[in-house]
Amino acid sequence: MTTTPRALNRSTLARQLLLDRATIDVGDAVRRVVALQAQQPGSPYVALWNRVTDFDPERLDEALAGFELVRSTLMRLTLHVVHAEDYRAFREGMEPTLRGSRLHDPRYKAAGFTAADADALLPRLLEYAGEARTGALMRECLEAARGGPVEAVVWRMIRQYAPLWHAPSGPPWSFGTAQSFVTASTLPVLADPDAAAAGLAVLLRRYLEGFGPASVPDMAQFTTAPRGRVREAVRLLEGDLVQSEGQGGTVLYDVPGAPLPDGETPAPPRLMAMWDSVLLAYADRGRMIPPEYRKHVIRVNGDTLPTLLVDGYVAGVWRPVEGGIEASAFHPLSARVWEELAGEAEALDTFLAARDPRVYGRYDHWWVKGLPTVETRVFTGR
């Protein structure tokens, strides 16, 4: 069976709750979409607004405050919100990547630290973080255990490696500027190849449920795990997976019975969050981003701008401005599409107004530097 590029696009939209908003609790929604990119604190809220019918941001506040959903460094070495029940397997699957990138970073080693030092320091640090502690207190604990000053880069590498959850620290998006941390309630097994292999297999199966069909390079892109590790994990799963052929003969893997909408299934416009996972979860970014727009959406430093999806594909960008939501198209759009975008933008403006009307204001410099837009409109729901 051959799967067309448009069918792959529609599969992603269906599994990511972007063809139709779902009447679903936020905890179940996060499990359905696997994980939410969360380095920008407002983005999980915007991501769920796009996916959940009548989304109530206070419900996400509650889920994060109660650690039903947790924020931690995971896939692609960035912050994600995942369900607490998924955290252990996901973290074990990411262990070799996190350990290699954090505890063997040249800056960490140049400061006089080794992986063995981190292993020795972690028990005391995790015990201390049995209740939420500020980053400053955690660094002091690390220095006391070390018996001397610890450079900022060392604390950064250890906190990103350690099985720590970010503790909510303030409005409007649960995580304010002052970071606090708490030890994961169920600790993952670290530095164990068997646990890592089993965890990666769980993570990749969940990835296929939420993003499939997908290739080995796609799975490696989503996790930042080496392709060799991904192939081994796929071999562990192979009896439970189905295969199809993608463009150019690419082998695609999937879970049996997962949604596979026809490529011509209608896709409503959406205003996607910064760093939304659908833009970053594939080696083939063309599944969602036309190649000619990629460099405008994913900037040289990794910033991934809030985008307009039209007919399932990136067609422009949006940002909050004084007075509403500014939507800018990379190519001409029909009057009907603009009308549909207006409805989404007005609803999003109303949603943001109650929390942070300028949620992405710090990224305005990308617009100042210039984007290849052909038409811009401002919509207000206030």
As a whole number of angstroms, the distance between CA 29 and CA 51 comes to: 8
**pLDDT, tens digit, 9 for 90 and up, residues 6-19:** 999 999 999 999 99
CB 186 within 8 A of CB 80: no
pLDDT recorded at residue 101: 97
pLDDT recorded at residue 382: 75
CB 64 within 8 A of CB 374: no
Question: Which is more confidently placed, 30 or 248?
Answer: 30
pLDDT recorded at residue 370: 94
**pLDDT, tens digit, 9 for 90 and up, residues 199-212:** 999 999 999 999 99
User: What percentage of the chain exceeds 90 in pLDDT?
Assistant: 96
259, with CB counted inside 10 A (0-12, 13-18, 19+), is middle
pLDDT recorded at residue 178: 83
User: What percentage of the chain exceeds 70 in pLDDT?
Assistant: 100
**pLDDT, tens digit, 9 for 90 and up, residues 91-112:** 999 999 999 999 999 999 999 9
Mean pLDDT of the chain: 97
pLDDT recorded at residue 175: 95
Contacts for 364-367: CB closer than 8 Å, 24+ residues apart: 364/319, 366/299, 366/303, 366/305, 367/317, 367/319
pLDDT recorded at residue 303: 97
Written as six digits, the tokens of 11 are 């599969």
Residue 1 has pLDDT above 80, yes or no: no
**pLDDT, tens digit, 9 for 90 and up, residues 132-152:** 999 999 999 999 999 999 999
pLDDT recorded at residue 113: 96
pLDDT recorded at residue 379: 97
Written as six digits, the tokens of 9 are 């696009």
Place 351 in a pLDDT band, splitting at 50, 70 and 90: very high
pTM over 0.95: yes
pLDDT recorded at residue 2: 85
**pLDDT, tens digit, 9 for 90 and up, residues 258-315:** 999 999 999 999 999 999 999 999 999 999 999 999 999 999 999 999 999 999 999 9
CB 71 within 8 A of CB 60: no
As a whole number of angstroms, the distance between CA 182 and CA 102 comes to: 19
pLDDT recorded at residue 81: 98
Residue 76 has pLDDT above 80, yes or no: yes
Average confidence (pLDDT) over 162-166? 98
Residue 170 has pLDDT above 90, yes or no: no
pLDDT recorded at residue 5: 96
Place 183 in a pLDDT band, splitting at 50, 70 and 90: very high
pLDDT recorded at residue 176: 83
| Cis, bond preceding 172 (omega within 30 deg of 0) | yes
**pLDDT, tens digit, 9 for 90 and up, residues 217-228:** 999 999 999 999
